[in-house]
Structures are given as C-alpha cells and as structure tokens.
Amino acid sequence: MSYDLKKKLVIAISSRALFDLEDENKMFEKKGLKKYYKYQIKNENKLLKRGAAFDFVKNILHINKHFDDKLIEVIVLSRNNAATGLRIKNSIDKYKLNVERAGWTAGTPISNYLKAFDVDLFLSAHEEDVQEAINVGIAAARIIPKKYKKDAKRKDVHIAFDGDAVLFSDQSEKIYKKHGLEAFVKHEKKNAKNPLPKGPFAKLLKVISKIQKKFPMEKAPIKTSLITARDFATFERVIRTFDAWDVRVDEAFFLGGVEKRRVVKSFKADIFFDDQDVHLDKTSKKTPSAKVPYKR
C-alpha cells in the first residue's frame, strides 16, 4: 500500500523558511543561478543556521513521539534545483529533524504540487508561491525572515491566529473598511447567531482540533490562540462560529485595537498568522510571524 497523507497534518515548507538562507538568496539575486548552485554544492557540509520557522517545525514534529503512527508530516518543497538540496538534507540530518519527504521544482511554481501532497499548511518566504497557494485554496503564509534566539525546550506547540481574513473570511472586515467600526459592530451583533464564513485557515484549525481531541484538554501538545483586533462586542458571533465548526481555540483575546505584539509574545507563540503588515512588523521582532495574503 502507498503511504497515505490524507489523515496527517501535512506542513510543506520552503528551505528558506526552515533555514537562514538570506545571504544565499542575496547571492542568487546579485550573481545569478549558476554562482548560487556552485556555492551551495561547495558548502554542502556547512551547517545552515535556523530559519524563522525552524523552532515551529521542530516543536510540532515532537508531537509524533506521542504516537506509533505519526500524525505530523513536514515536507520540504523548494524552487531550487535538486543538486543544491544536499546541503538542506545534511542540515536536516544534523539537526535531527524527522523530515522524510522533499521536492525540488527547479523554478516551477510550488503551488502545482501542494494538492498532490495533501498539504494543510504551506510556509514560504517567497511571496509569489504563497499567493498562488492561497489562490488554489491552500492555507499558506509568507514567513518573515528574521533571526530569533534559540527556543527553550518545550513539550507543546503554541500557534496564534488573527481572525478576519485568516480563520474567518474577509467579509466582515470589508464592512469595517467601507463603513467604519460602528457599522461593523452593528453587523456582527445582528448576525451573532450566524457562523462566520470560513477563511483560508479554517480547515487547518479543524485539522489541529482533531489532534487536540486525542488528548485530555489540559495535556494537548498543541495550544491555539485567537488574537484579534475585534472588540468584545463581537464575541458572541466568534464563539458560536467555533462551536458550529466543532473546533477548539484554547485562548482568545479581543483587543479592540490594542497592539497585538505584547499579547502574542505573552502567549509564547511559535508562530503568529495575520493578514496585516501593521501588526506583523511589530510581532515579528520577537515572534516568528507570517503574512496571510488575500485570495485573488
């Protein structure tokens, strides 16, 4: 029988999101593909530094230790040529990451292959790849390449989400942008008993919730948080939405415009997903953060 990924949480990640390849990327942009290839092959045994999403990947793979049949699959999908993949493979081995699958597209859009791998989440530093993934209905986000201090050893994973345009559709957000806060709150109160339409990360939250339900609530290895700029007046519709979706969110913060950065940091998020640069520019200073683009 072939290996079935449909019952797993499948995370596809680019090599530049997993490892710090910013200097190599600058070389590629300035000196071209040939020089980049030669450099990577020459340095195949030189350990790559941890990238912005490294600790998230490491911690979420740790969950597999609870099961004989692992639930989490991480797949490296890269636009690079396979010849440069040896350095990536060697670094994965040295860090002892349990990554068993990879794909090298040599410039072909990665979005062409995401559904073939039953991907639930795609993380990349390449904006075009992320946009194409969102367009075909895959939860995807552009990781903001930054260096972070080594994560202290933890036994769980903390994932934080914005609400509108991430977990929920941008329908309500459009009302706010067009008609203002008062109209937005009025609309949400009027529709309090109507679940919000699903956003690009709703399916991912459902998959995570299925894993959480395999554990007692206080011992689940994945902890989730909603960190939204909505105020408490819109609370009812959000909570009824999660109930209708049959998903669990462990913590929820309705900030009413208060800055998200300190709450995200206090939650000790391994990664934070939002759709707005105004929040991500601040959260990414201390917390790995990723931008969710609008579907086009």
Catalytic residue from among 120, 162, 170, 275: 162
Does the active-site annotation cover 231? no
Region of residue 189 (left: phi > 0; alpha: psi -120 to 50; beta: else): alpha
Task: Tell me which residue of 238, 262, 236 sits closest to 249, measured CA to CA.
Answer: 238
Whether the CB-CB separation of 229 and 267 falls below 8 Å is answered with no
Residue 92: count other Cβ atoms within 10 Å of its Cβ: 22
d(CA 281, CA 261): 9
To 5 degrees, how large is the angle CA 171–CA 177–CA 181? 100
Whether the CB-CB separation of 77 and 101 falls below 8 Å is answered with no
Task: Tell me which residue of 282, 235, 275 sits closest to 260, measured CA to CA.
Answer: 282
The encoded tokens of residue 222 equal 């994945």
- Indicate the residue type of 165: A
Whether the CB-CB separation of 230 and 168 falls below 8 Å is answered with no
Residue numbers annotated as active site: 162
